[in-house]
Structure 1
């Protein structure tokens, strides 16, 4: 198993050989958004467009909470 610097090197080499970064990260982005879709509509009752709209808003709120916590941590240090 790779550790530390070797892993970082392997990751950088892998990304340097990636032609389509969006395509490579799409499964992760889709899974991340699906988390918020489940959060806003656990029963799956909403129409797709409404569920996606609400999921995007929930994701934005999540990101703002992360930014707030990051700013608080920086102020403490």
Structure 2
């Protein structure tokens, strides 16, 4: 199946994902390695030399993960705000402004 456009590629990828998950018995087991790697990433970020106590490393990794998601939320809010502003500028006519 040759993808001719970005839209086609996105639809093909979505189809593949739905097909995979339709045949997956244990979703938790299927994503366990990815979830572990995600946690490991934050642990390596806060303790690259592996010298911290495991409990301290886990606490710092949890904070790093919260910072990651908070940063994503901030960027998302900024983009939504910019899009809303652009949409309002484009729909406001000079007579009503």
Q: Same fold (TM over 0.5)?
A: yes
For structure 1, the residue ranges without an aligned partner over 5 or more in a row are none
Task: Show the counterpart of 1:7.
Answer: 13
Indicate yes or no: 2:43 matched with 1:43.
no
For structure 2, the residue ranges without an aligned partner over 5 or more in a row are 4-8, 84-97
Measure the CA separation in 2 of the matches of 1:67 and 1:17. Answer: 32
Give the structure-2-normalised TM-score: 0.71
Segments ≥4 residues shifted beyond 3 Å: none
Select the structure of larger CA radius of gyration: 2
Inter-CA distance 11–40: structure 2 relative to 1 (3 Å threshold): same
User: Alpha-carbon deviations, 1:7-63, whole Å to 9, x = none?
Assistant: 321210110111111111111111111111011111100111211121011101110
Higher relative contact order (Cα pairs below 8 Å, separated by 6+ residues): 1
- Give the superposed CA RMSD: 1.6
Give the structure-1-normalised TM-score: 0.88
